[in-house]
Structure 1
Amino acid sequence: MPTAPQTTDELYQALQENDRRPYGRTRTVTAEELVDAAEQFAEPVPLIHALLELQEAYTYGSEPRKSPVVFARLLTLFDEQPNVFDERLRHMLFWRFKWVAGALRALPEIPLASLRQWLTEMRDRYVKAGLDLQPYYGQAYQLAAHLGEDTALAYELWAGRARSRLSDCEACEICDRALYHLAAGDDERALRTWEPVLAGKESCQEEPARSVSYALLPLLRTGRTDEARELHLAGYRGCRRNPSMAGEVGRHLEFCALTGNEARGLELLAENRTLFDEVDSPRELLDFLTGVEVLLQRVEGIGHGQLPAAGFAGRTWTVAGLRAEVRGRADDLAARFDARNGTPAHTDRRRARLDRAPLLDALELTLRTRSLDDVAPAGPVTAPAARAAAAVPESLPELILRARSLDEQGHPDADACWERLRTLVAARDYAHPDDPAVGPLVRLHADLLADEASRAGDKDEYADAVALHEEAADLYEDAGEPGHAAIARACALLAAAEVPTEDAGAAETADTDDAGTKTTGAAEAKATGDAGAKVADGAEVKVAALTAAHATMVRLHEETPALTPVQEARLLRLRATALGLRLQTSGSEEHVAPVLAEVDLLHTFATRHDIGGQIAGARLLRATTYAMSGDLPAAVTEIDGLLDRLRAHGPAWYLPRTLGLRGRIQLGLQDAQAAHADLTESLRLAAGWPADAVGTARVHGDLAEACMHLGRPDEALRHLTRSAELDLRRGSRTDAFCTYSNVARLSLEMGRVEDCIALLDSLLAEPDVTGGELDDRLVAQLRLTRARALHAGEDLKAATAEFVTLAAESAGWDDDPGSHAVIAAETAVLLAESGEFGRAREAADQALTAHARAPRYEQLSNCLRELARLQAQQQGPGGLDDARAFLADAARIADEARAAGYEAHGRSLDTALAYEHGRVNAYAGEYEDALAALEEALALLGEPGPENDRAGEWAECVRLAGAVEGIYLERTAPALTRLDAAVSRLTALGHTEETEPLTSLAARLREEE
């Protein structure tokens, strides 16, 4: 706290600000400081408020030892000056007797006699104050359940009584009743009892997260797996990283362990690693540690005890090591509770949880399904194979020759040979064969470097690829292999041209353009403003680099002596590839013919020497060139011919890639059904080859696009997630995160809010994200989507916090003011929804300033109109002036858009503005102005037609005008005339659905006449 409050008004303001903070050390420390500040004032009421805030911070910050101490001070103040406690303060005081009872139960060092004494104190105080005793009996039942005694009588004394004003909230009492039935072994009755909470009808500070954590296993046992999955996602988000809900986190870990989701369990454990040290409540800690042990026991039991695990601070843990530590600590805690209570209840409950067998072999919990193999140290990527890969030769000379032969063919099995050789050569006892056919060791080192360079290029690590290819070329020269050296240098030239320039890397990255397309990188950025100019500059640089690389390759080809046919074909392929990339970068028609000329050279040469892989490569390049030039039918014809050849003569591994290309072209021809068939067949054939070799990740991505065109979003989602995970496994993390970003947005559009949040939480916890290694704009895009998902999931507080943070960060994006404009505008809306209109105005002004540099007409107009609506709706006449100020800003944006020739993709900005003037004035009670504005909106819209997609908008405008006119201005006759005419018009045009709200309003007006 920078400065201690000097007045009571400042103190109350500081208390309000602290109340907005999440529970944890920051809030608790601030509350302690505010108590110190409150003690300087002569009047006791500010101190009472500060102490109440501090007790709440201790209670929900998992510090039960301190909560009773604060309450003792409050109780003393009440005994000394009862008159200063108004009805609200008195209610809060008596309510918190229950908090103290809970805190004492959570501490095994508190004698059982003291717990019973406190309940007696609570009963006496309630009787003296004339309060109903149902809350007292509730606490008596809680103590009996905690002790493991026969709870039947205590339950009846509590649950059989009517609720009172000081009873626990309905949601908490429902949970306690359900837990009673659960303890009795009646899953079905427990779930029936829980239904109002699980369905979201009853909630509070801890609910439904508390109930969900307990209901997960009963749901599984009764076969309601889909509901368990959904509640796990939503419920976990409600308790994660929360020290006061560590027990709930432990039960979610247990759920993962018992459903075949051990990898997700380890991920969630890592996300909650701070709980090992932050939880100060022994009862919560015992619950948490037991859940952790269930997970670790399962992971170790299936043979992964040496995996890394997140645990207590101060050392690095394996699963096995952490399990042993957790077991010791949890056993000790259970023993301490049992010693205090005089029963074995806590040890018995712990043992029951640890003895549970898995309930399901596998339950798909999230969009990002991972196994324990995925969290193990990275190894080479493999694919499920229908075709057994060729065995790697045992003989070293045979292995070297086999690797080179397969590599010359471009055969996917070469990768396994090179991996084996890389391991053998790295061994300290490696002895190179003395065999002229194998050649010297320097040649083998060059081969391995060339293979490593190719892998780096596949991962878009072009700078590394350049260095490795150059080093390989030098070694080939030393080995007397000028042909291989030339190929390595040509590869280095191609990789060097792909190295991003400083300007080319800049682009809009966390934005939504006016069409609603979210951009994540230079390749997808729209050429608008400074970022677009930089992308264009980068393209020109790349075109020049590829042109120069091609010229150098030609000279290299001409000057290298004694090339074998295979080497010459590879150089021709690299030349053609350089020109193909140039065409892809420039999109210029003048660059088409040079590519085709080089492809013809390659095809002719490869056909003369019967080099099958290069024949196929040439025809693929030709088809791709036709496609890039816009001649899609010619591309399809070329691919059809290639497919016939591949089926007859091979190579077989070209089939999946070729079918994938035909599928992409079919998408360009808008034949999604044909594209789906080709891409599905491509995937079927790809199953027999390593994923990297046949581009399986790309095929999954294209198949997702086909599915979207065919109206199959769920199938598209599966293919996108598979594509992303394949990219992750091969190390292409940027590509993977971009694809997962699309997955998150699609799941959000589909209404799968919790899936979206769970996926993004998982991605944002990845080490390269938390370590700042991933592109910051891509991370910002992920966070932005998560904030939107939180908003859609009605977690307004969390969504607002994330938006505010993103708005502050994006203010520094000088190269991308448009993204900041959108983020700041959305932030303003969330602040307004929370009633913070001053901060909302500040955020809106930031958005307008950024919009002046990079216009975002539609988004800014939408947000400003929404801000006006919210202010008028929440504040009525008192908010009208500020609401009209927002509308004035929206009007200026509409004028700017009109002057710029901008056409909105959604509603007309002018029409929407007129309609919003109508709503705002109606909320503020200015009904004549509201009706005039709605008449203007109707005039701008015009009469709907039979094909008019604005019929719904027109009908809504008529409805609101009818309501203002008929209900608020009490002009029933003209309102009915308006509504009846609109119903007749819409019915005649076939828009019957749009007539329903108009007919309903007309009926209401007639009833009130």
Structure 2
Amino acid sequence: MEIADFDSLRHALAENSEEPEGPARNARAEQLLVAAEKLDIPLAVIEALGHQLKVYNYSSEKDKMFVPFARLLRMWDERPEDFDEYETHSLHWVFKWMTAGMLDQPHVPLASIEKWLGEMEHRYRLAGHSERAVRGAEFSVAGHVGDLARAERAYTAWLAADRDRMADCHACELHGQGGWHLRNDRYAEALEVWGPVLDGEYSCAHEPHTVLASSLVALLRLGRVDEARAHHLRGFRLVRPMESMRGAYADHVEFCALTGNEARGLELLAERPAYFTDTGQPRSRMEFLAVVALLMDRLTGLGLGGQRVPGPVGRAWTAGELAGHARVEALELAARFDARNGTSYVGDQLRERMAQRPLADRLPLGVRAARTAPVGLPAPDVAAPAPERPEQSEQPSLPALLAEARRLSDTLRPHALEAWAAVAEAAEETEVDTYVRAEIADHTAMGRGPEGVGLFERAAELYAAAGDEGEAIAARARAAYVRALSGELDEALAAIDEPYDRILALYADDATGVRQTASVLMSRARILMRRVHERSAGAEDAERAVRELLALVGGRGGSDVRLVSRAAEGRAMLAELAEHAGDGERAGKLFRQATAQFVGAELPWFAVEYEVRVAALAHEQGDLAEAERALRAALEHGGPYVEPVGRAQLHLQLAEVVGGRGAAAEAAEHALEAAHWADEAGESGTLGAWARHQLGGFLLRQERFAEAAEVLESALADLRAETHGDGAVVQTQWWLGDCLSELGEHRAAAERRLQAAEIARHWPEQHDHATLAHLAAESLGNAGLPAEADQAYTRAGELWRAMGNVHFLVRSLRARAWLALRTGAGAQGARQLMADAVRECESALETVGDPAAAERLAGELGHTHRQFGDLLARSVPEDADDPAIREAFEAALAEMAAAVSVFGALGEEGLHGRTGAELAAGWLEADLSRPADAAARARAVLDAYEGADPADETVRARRAEARQLLEPTEE
């Protein structure tokens, strides 16, 4: 717009202040200064210079602010009368910015900064200001150069001085005070000082942004990782859109480097390529480059030095290359500061920061980030034995490897197949006997799945050649079972008959042992169970086979874990047969018996599958407590032996069950774990997306809106209608819209709600479509887009009418009425919409038959009359004459009286509505100069609450307002 006068300049300056930080806003400020100079009004130039100084300060071009400030100071010295009160205050206020700005520029001599401190102190004293801001500035200088004794003195004097108009806001001061504790490794004290900012008691344009960022390492070092995660998600959302906050942004990158979230750290770097090279604030660039070096060193240490990473534009970078580049650049900047300061403090601090070691192997964040490091299972979060692996020495002998492999196999320990793989590798260079070759082939086949049939047959031949006929038969039975797993069920059924007959004959003649016999019977039972599952046939044959197995091993387990395992699995097969027959109660009982046997034999990892089955059955039967118990037991039994995808599924199921009983905080913890393990398993786009969807919902329930928004946005990147259903996409958009609305991001909230509404528009049931359109309208109105809001309310109203939902139809009409009044669309149009809302309610009341529904509609009518009265009273133009005002107020009073009547008919249910309308009517009576009538209404409210609970907040507020209404009449 053209700047024709001072008012248009001020309007343009205000508009530019609302623009995002960055070069575009700075360039516009420069244009506005030129326009101000053409007006030939000193105050216009002063305001334009102040605006320019402000936008420079909050951008990457902070070094430009010295020129406009020098000009302002010269103008003040020459003609202070040209400055109004506000600009006089602003001029003294930005003295503090100059001190910090000089510290950020290593080319500004320290002597100049000290001289400036003296100048600031002198001018503040002349202006009658406290020395608090001066001592705060001195503290910053002393801390920067490493003069910690002087910093301590200045810190004490800063806190002791009186707060006045020149003191920084409470939030900024607390950030600086906590930073002093942080610098001295007093982490708990820093967090205590920052508490009021973190809790929202104090805030400003840049807080709690920087406090949240500064708190990250302190929380990690204190082991408060849950809070650190929350502060990262909440804080990064605040920092992301603000160009001037490179130092705080660096804190978040550092957090990622220290918590195993290297991939997210890379994503953060990719979002801000200009941060590598912007030179307007050298100190924050130095800090940013230092954490870049830290992150790249971490990647290089993980063996990923050759990985491509985001870096300064103009070339491709690997992690190793960027580590070296960032370190050199950061140290060069540090050397410039140290040369200026005459100390080594900046460089020492920088080297210490770059040399930090990770504080967590991986701290799950809930947002998607691909794993950059090789997966290493962390310590289990439940009591469980550590994974047992083959014992190894520098040069293990074959006999040692063989003994260890047999021990692990005999006791059914995890990693037995790995041990046999080591035996097989060693046996390639050593002559071994036939039996050992049979064992190697047998166990190698176990790890091959469907491809293992031939190896099992080869193992059988070798066992037979070694004289162990029973083990040879067992190997052939295992080959038959693998055929069944491969879909060759008929072949498997045919192949198992001979091993079964032969093993029974050998066992009867004491020519083989119970282990081999049980192995064959188990293979046969498994094959028959496959027939039940695949063809729903042969249940009786399968049950006979299982009972035959149990008869063999049921009383022979003892310390032989293999036989106990056979018995437990047999019990689980009977459970599956009971479930197949529709007897869920018996199935659950048998599954629990099976898990008890596995756990009793110290084989808890085998119980996981069956606890999950118990949970599913319990859920079907509505026994959510048992479902929860079983899922917790599954996690405990599995410990570190459950694969990542299995852990993700268990945590996700538990999250849904726990969340279903209202424990949102614990449910969120399980959903977070589910997202983490899904990422580890490479399931980010499917299982991980659903886990993040659930996590976002649970965080929203806890009103952790910023964290929920980050998680839900991450989930949306992977949620797809074809894999999760469009209902999941709509729900995620819906939740995200709720979060953004609570965060005050109304335009973004409207976009999410409209996107969800567009999907729901195609559903047969239109309630969600209408609700989302209504919510979108609210957001559009709050975003200052009245025309768009009215369109959305109109759309929602049409849908509510089509569904016969009078309540929300009326609410959409009332909302449109208020929009029309606020936007100047015309008081007449607003009154018409509100009158339409009244008619809709009255019409519905004439036809409704259900008493409860009629009562609800009457309540809606009462609220509509009340709002109609408010709207009429507020629709009077400021320049209206007295008759017009009285006419509007009388009409408003009539609506209030109608509201009182409607609410009064509802008895106790309408009490608060009646008293609210009565008080509103009382104030209108007072405005119409009818004090007696106003007093009568006030007394009616007090009478209505006679004997009411005095602790009720509504009761207290209404009584207080009634007494206030009475005061003028009692005088």
Distance in 1, Cα, partners of 2:30 & 2:450 = 62
Which of residues 920, 925, 934 is equivalent to 2:899?
A: 934
CA shift for structure 1 position 742: 1.8
Q: Does 1:956 align with 2:903?
A: no
Calculate percent identity across the aligned residue pairs. Answer: 26
Question: What residue number does 2:672 align with?
Answer: 721
CA shift for structure 1 position 643: 4.2
Q: Does the C-alpha gap of structure 1 residues 219 and 77 become closer, same or farther in structure 2, counting only changes over 3 Å?
A: same
Question: What residue number does 1:263 align with?
Answer: 260
Which of residues 782, 797, 801 is equivalent to 2:748?
A: 801
Per-residue Cα deviation, 1:678-733 (whole angstroms, up to 9, x for no partner): 4433433333853479x555544444454346554433333333344444444444
Distance in 1, Cα, partners of 2:29 & 2:654 = 55
Per-residue Cα deviation, 1:66-117 (whole angstroms, up to 9, x for no partner): 3335556777998999998765556555644544554343222344566567
CA shift for structure 1 position 204: 1.7
CA shift for structure 1 position 674: 3.6
Distance in 2, Cα, partners of 1:898 & 1:417 = 78
- What are the residue-to-residue correspondences of 1:657-696 with 2, within 5 Å? 657-687=609-639, 689-691=641-643
Distance in 2, Cα, partners of 1:888 & 1:412 = 77
Q: Does the C-alpha gap of structure 1 residues 707 and 835 become closer, same or farther in structure 2, counting only changes over 3 Å?
A: same
Asked if 2 retains the 8 angstrom alpha-carbon contact of 1:599 and 1:621, the reply is: no
Distance in 2, Cα, partners of 1:648 & 1:182 = 54
Question: What residue number does 1:207 align with?
Answer: 207
Q: Does the C-alpha gap of structure 1 residues 933 and 653 become closer, same or farther in structure 2, counting only changes over 3 Å?
A: farther
CA shift for structure 1 position 841: 2.9
Question: What residue number does 2:738 align with?
Answer: 788
Q: Counterpart amino acid of 1:804?
A: E
CA shift for structure 1 position 283: 1.0
- What are the residue-to-residue correspondences of 1:118-197 with 2, within 5 Å? 139=137, 142-149=140-147, 150-151=150-151, 165=165, 167-176=167-176, 179=179, 196-197=196-197
Q: Counterpart amino acid of 1:789?
A: C
Distance in 2, Cα, partners of 1:16 & 1:73 = 22
Question: What residue number does 1:537 align with?
Answer: none
Question: What residue number does 1:830 align with?
Answer: 779
Distance in 1, Cα, partners of 2:807 & 2:364 = 31
- What are the residue-to-residue correspondences of 1:633-672 with 2, within 5 Å? 634-644=583-593, 655-672=607-624
Asked if 2 retains the 8 angstrom alpha-carbon contact of 1:864 and 1:886, the reply is: no
- What are the residue-to-residue correspondences of 1:429-440 with 2, within 5 Å? none
Q: Does 1:312 align with 2:311?
A: yes
Question: What residue number does 1:66 align with?
Answer: 64
Q: Does 1:756 align with 2:704?
A: no
Which of residues 849, 869, 874 is equivalent to 1:921?
A: 869
Question: What residue number does 1:103 align with?
Answer: 101
SS at match of 2:311: coil
Question: What residue number does 1:743 align with?
Answer: 695
SS at match of 2:260: helix
Distance in 1, Cα, partners of 2:841 & 2:306 = 56
Distance in 2, Cα, partners of 1:976 & 1:653 = 73
Question: What residue number does 2:347 align with?
Answer: 347
Aligned residues between the structures: 855
Q: Which range is displaced more, 4-13 or 908-917?
A: 4-13
Distance in 1, Cα, partners of 2:62 & 2:671 = 46
Q: Counterpart amino acid of 1:206?
A: H
Distance in 2, Cα, partners of 1:616 & 1:166 = 79
SS at match of 1:238: helix
Distance in 1, Cα, partners of 2:849 & 2:322 = 64
Question: What residue number does 2:470 align with?
Answer: none
Q: Does the C-alpha gap of structure 1 residues 66 and 903 become closer, same or farther in structure 2, counting only changes over 3 Å?
A: farther
CA RMSD of aligned residues (A): 6.6
SS at match of 2:245: helix
Q: Does the C-alpha gap of structure 1 residues 128 and 191 become closer, same or farther in structure 2, counting only changes over 3 Å?
A: same
Q: Does the C-alpha gap of structure 1 residues 439 and 60 become closer, same or farther in structure 2, counting only changes over 3 Å?
A: same
Per-residue Cα deviation, 1:152-200 (whole angstroms, up to 9, x for no partner): 7766887666555455434334444555676678878866765554443
Asked if 2 retains the 8 angstrom alpha-carbon contact of 1:920 and 1:930, the reply is: yes
CA shift for structure 1 position 333: 0.9
SS at match of 1:796: coil
Distance in 2, Cα, partners of 1:568 & 1:858 = 66
CA shift for structure 1 position 331: 1.2
Asked if 1 retains the 8 angstrom alpha-carbon contact of 2:807 and 2:860, the reply is: no
Q: Counterpart amino acid of 1:715?
A: E
Instruction: Provide structure 1 residue ranges, at least 5 long, that are not aligned to the other structure.
Output: 452-480, 491-555, 580-594, 628-633, 945-950
Q: Does the C-alpha gap of structure 1 residues 559 and 57 become closer, same or farther in structure 2, counting only changes over 3 Å?
A: same
Asked if 2 retains the 8 angstrom alpha-carbon contact of 1:844 and 1:864, the reply is: yes
Distance in 1, Cα, partners of 2:23 & 2:800 = 39
SS at match of 1:244: coil
Higher relative CO (CA 8 A, sep ≥ 6), structure 1 or 2?
1
CA shift for structure 1 position 748: 1.9
CA shift for structure 1 position 744: 1.9
Per-residue Cα deviation, 1:933-985 (whole angstroms, up to 9, x for no partner): 53365268x345xxxxxx5xx4432442343245554634455445544655x
- What are the residue-to-residue correspondences of 1:453-602 with 2, within 5 Å? 488=486, 577=533
CA shift for structure 1 position 324: 3.8
CA shift for structure 1 position 737: 2.1
- What are the residue-to-residue correspondences of 1:37-48 with 2, within 5 Å? none
CA shift for structure 1 position 327: 2.5
Q: Does the C-alpha gap of structure 1 residues 687 and 1000 become closer, same or farther in structure 2, counting only changes over 3 Å?
A: same
Distance in 2, Cα, partners of 1:658 & 1:328 = 58
Q: Which range is displaced more, 206-215 or 22-31?
A: 22-31
Instruction: Provide structure 2 residue ranges, at least 5 long, that are not aligned to the other structure.
Output: 453-478, 501-521, 551-565, 874-888, 927-933
CA shift for structure 1 position 337: 1.3
Q: Does the C-alpha gap of structure 1 residues 741 and 877 become closer, same or farther in structure 2, counting only changes over 3 Å?
A: same
Per-residue Cα deviation, 1:450-505 (whole angstroms, up to 9, x for no partner): 89xxxxxxxxxxxxxxxxxxxxxxxxxxxxx9997886468xxxxxxxxxxxxxxx
Distance in 1, Cα, partners of 2:897 & 2:20 = 46
CA shift for structure 1 position 745: 1.3
CA shift for structure 1 position 332: 1.0
Asked if 2 retains the 8 angstrom alpha-carbon contact of 1:872 and 1:924, the reply is: no
- What are the residue-to-residue correspondences of 1:804-819 with 2, within 5 Å? 804=751, 807=754, 811=758, 815=762
Distance in 2, Cα, partners of 1:740 & 1:665 = 26
Bigger CA radius of gyration: 2
Q: Does 1:330 align with 2:330?
A: yes
Asked if 1 retains the 8 angstrom alpha-carbon contact of 2:338 and 2:347, the reply is: yes
Distance in 2, Cα, partners of 1:575 & 1:788 = 51
Q: Which range is displaced more, 54-63 or 361-370?
A: 361-370
Distance in 2, Cα, partners of 1:30 & 1:856 = 52
Q: Does the C-alpha gap of structure 1 residues 838 and 642 become closer, same or farther in structure 2, counting only changes over 3 Å?
A: closer
Distance in 1, Cα, partners of 2:262 & 2:116 = 39
CA shift for structure 1 position 336: 0.9
SS at match of 1:207: coil
Asked if 2 retains the 8 angstrom alpha-carbon contact of 1:958 and 1:982, the reply is: no
Q: Does the C-alpha gap of structure 1 residues 955 and 446 become closer, same or farther in structure 2, counting only changes over 3 Å?
A: same
Per-residue Cα deviation, 1:872-907 (whole angstroms, up to 9, x for no partner): 998999989649748957986998999999999999
Asked if 1 retains the 8 angstrom alpha-carbon contact of 2:135 and 2:157, the reply is: yes
Question: What residue number does 1:524 align with?
Answer: none
Asked if 1 retains the 8 angstrom alpha-carbon contact of 2:900 and 2:915, the reply is: no
